[in-house]
Amino acid sequence: MNLETVLSVRHYSDDLFSFQTTRSADIRAFKAGQFTMIGMGDNDILRAYSIASAPTDSHLEFFSIKVQDGPLTSRLQHIQAGDQIEVGDRPTGTLVLDNLLPGQRLWCIATGTGLAPFLSIVRDPSTFARFDEVILTHTVRTARELAFAEMLESRPIRYYPTVTREAFHTEGRITDRLASGAVFEDLNLPQWSADCDRIMICGSPAFNNELRADLQARGFQHGTNRAPGHFVQERAFVMQRGDPG
Ligand code: A2P
């Protein structure tokens, strides 16, 4: 673990915040979509966090839930610029573009803090060399949880936010909007096909499972380091609401 200095912190709601830190030279090079460990240095509690900054950025960025009695996030949520935290020096993970076959369109489908790895992917210039079009969907409970919306609107992507617990122009779970075809209609894009579309999934276990079953029923194959496929998903490395924190 390295000690990194907190550069800035942003709070979105009682449940969500993001922060930037320095990036020591000895943090191993990482691919967009990978995660590393974070701790506070004062006990043994470490949690895996997807890196939200680009591999080419000189700082690191993370997006986190806050759990009021969580072993790590009850304290991490109070960090301020100038504080130090521990960051693992060996990022890893399989939610990476290298595990996808070449394709035309890249879809990044996130719920809650599952957005984090996709922030890195859409900030990484190499993403746009691989795909003609990049679509990022983010589903959250309330509109104020649409963290990073301004940045995402400024990227060369199709940003498609959905909100499930209040009125919104694109309301409801992304899984329902995919099943009804609303997403494809709204974006004026054809239904997914294994020839053209590559899908990255990051969110809660129930959401991951539902979408994986849907994709497998469509004939999409899960990609791995050894055998790239039509979709990839991260199961364990994003803390979500309901996790111990
Ligand atoms: P919902 O409000 O209907 O539960 P959370 O904040 O709990 O991590 O959830 C983030 C978003 O993911 C919420 O908008 C939530 O919708 C949605 N969600 C939760 N479970 C699923 C699922 N199985 N499929 C699709 N979306 C889900």
To the question of pTM greater than 0.85 for the whole model, the response is yes
The identity of residue 25, as a single letter, is A
Are 75 and 158 contained in the same domain?
no
Q: What is the mean pLDDT of the chain?
A: 95
CATH number at 122 reads 3.40.50.80
pLDDT of residue 27 exceeding 80, the answer is yes
Q: Which domain holds residue 55?
A: 2-87
Structural domain includes residue 190: yes
Distance CA 17, CA 12 (A): 6
Residue 244 has what pLDDT? 83
Q: Name the more confident of 44 and 73.
A: 73
**Domain co-membership, 233 together with 167:** yes
Residues 151 and 104 in one domain: yes
Q: Reply yes or no on whether the pLDDT at 236 is more than 70.
A: no
Residue 78 has what pLDDT?
Answer: 98
DSSP class of 11: E
In a domain, 81, yes or no: yes
* Last residue within a domain, chosen from 52, 87, 122: 87
Same-domain pairing of 12 and 129: no
Residue of minimum CA distance from atom 3 in ligand 1? 164
In contact, 198 and 230? CB cutoff 8 Å: yes
Average confidence (pLDDT) over 27-33: 96
> Would the CB of 165 count as within 6 Å of ligand 1?
yes
Q: Is 15 in the pocket of ligand 1 (CB under 6 A)?
A: no
Please check the confidence at residue 235 and state whether its pLDDT lies above 70.
Answer: no
- CATH number for the domain spanning 20: value is 2.40.30.10
Structurally, the chain folds into a number of domains equal to 2
* Atom 22 of ligand 1, nearest CA residue: 207
Closest CA to 76 of 38, 117, 112: 38
Same domain, 13 and 106: no
What's the rounded Cα separation, in Å, for the pair 63 and 206? 20
Percent pLDDT > 90 in the chain is: 92
Average the pLDDT over 101-128 and give the result: 97
Is residue 8, in this structure, part of any structural domain at all?
yes
- How is the beta sheet containing 16-22 ordered, strand by strand? 46-50, 35-39, 84-87, 2-11, 16-22, 59-65
